[in-house]
Structure 1
Amino acid sequence: MTNKSHEDDVAFIQALAELLRKNDLTELQVKRAYAEDDSLNVRVSRAAPQVIAAPVQVASAPVAAPVETAPAPAAVSEDPASLPGAVTSPMVGTVYMQAEPGSPAFVSLGAQVSEGDTLLIVEAMKTMNHIPAPRSGKITRILVEDGSTVEFGAPLVVIE
């Protein structure tokens, strides 16, 4: 593969990621066939934000009446990684919320955690990596689902 072809593929993947973000999609998959033995198969995805049953108040957002329900999740979920207390994934992998199937989850919404407590596990290359709480506080948001794939830097939970 030539460097020009590599640059074209990178530009194509970046365009797909931008399309994903602009249209608020969670996943895109495309297969490009160049020749009989040359193709590019790309899957771009991001974790879908979980719906939280408890009302969420954003300090910087003015309160207006009536409040529309559709725009609120988009405003809150635009960039969860920038929220204070967001814990992000240190690696690409698969998220597990409990130590083994059938056991209780490490954390739940509203749970109090202490610094160093295991929040969840990210499996990468058959290695189970325990993700510790960087500080003590209350779990106010869980942004991933058990068994979902996460990217480096993806927000996992928010601790306040």
Structure 2
Amino acid sequence: MSRLLVDADAIRALAEILTDTGLTEIEIAEKDNRIRVVRAAAPVAHAVPAPAPVAAAPVAPTPVAPPAAHPADLSKHPGAVTSPMVGVAYLAPDPSSPAFVSEGQQVVAGQTLLLIEAMKTFNQIKAPRAGTVSRILVQSGDPVEFGEALVIIE
């Protein structure tokens, strides 16, 4: 029977990355070894309204705003450029430089749109086709998940 070797320090380091970035899962693989750490979403606490005080005169009810509509899944948009990995998005090569692209800008296929840092490596995310950047859906420093829509090119 083979023994499973667990690198507790690696697991702690990955858990710390999850906490620092707000991501829900991370995985690393090296040769035949793989470590995947998944964090459950924090439970959402619901506030229970206090009972209304008894009033001598009837009070008109306050209109309740309808719940906000869930945004459409932009990763399904035909012009969506999605993240190929989990990491941190950066819109410029460094904080003092201008952004690679801006909304309304024309881009050509292969042009760098942004960077994603994963495991201390910066990966260029390039435009898959020519078009106009209609929306940039992330900000510099935002953690991104695999498959998350980053930019919409029309």
Q: What's the TM-score once normalised by structure 2's chain length?
A: 0.57
Asked if the contact 1:142–1:157 (Cα under 8 Å) also holds between the matched residues in 2, the reply is yes
2:83 is aligned to 89
SS at match of 1:81: helix
1:28–1:43 CA distance, 2 compared to 1 (3 A): farther
CA distance in 1, matches of 2:85, 2:135: 20
Deviation of residue 78 (structure 1)? 1.8
Q: Which runs of 4+ in 1 moved over 2 A?
A: 40-45
2:128 is aligned to 134
2:146 is aligned with 1:152: yes
- Cα RMSD of the aligned pairs, angstroms, is 2.8
1:44–1:107 CA distance, 2 compared to 1 (3 A): farther
Tell me which amino acid in the other structure corresponds to 1:42.
R
2:98 is aligned with 1:101: no
The unaligned stretches of length 5 or more in structure 2 are 1-21, 25-36, 43-66
CA distance in 2, matches of 1:148, 1:136: 25
The unaligned stretches of length 5 or more in structure 1 are 1-26, 30-39, 46-69
Taking only the aligned residue pairs, the percentage that are identical comes to 54
Q: What's the TM-score once normalised by structure 1's chain length?
A: 0.55
Q: Please, which of 105, 115, 125 is the counterpart of residue 119 of structure 2? A: 125
How many residue pairs match? The answer is 99
1:42 is aligned to 39
Please say which structure displays the higher CA radius of gyration. 2
Which structure's residues are more often helix, by fraction? 1
1:8 is aligned to none
1:126–1:114 CA distance, 2 compared to 1 (3 A): same
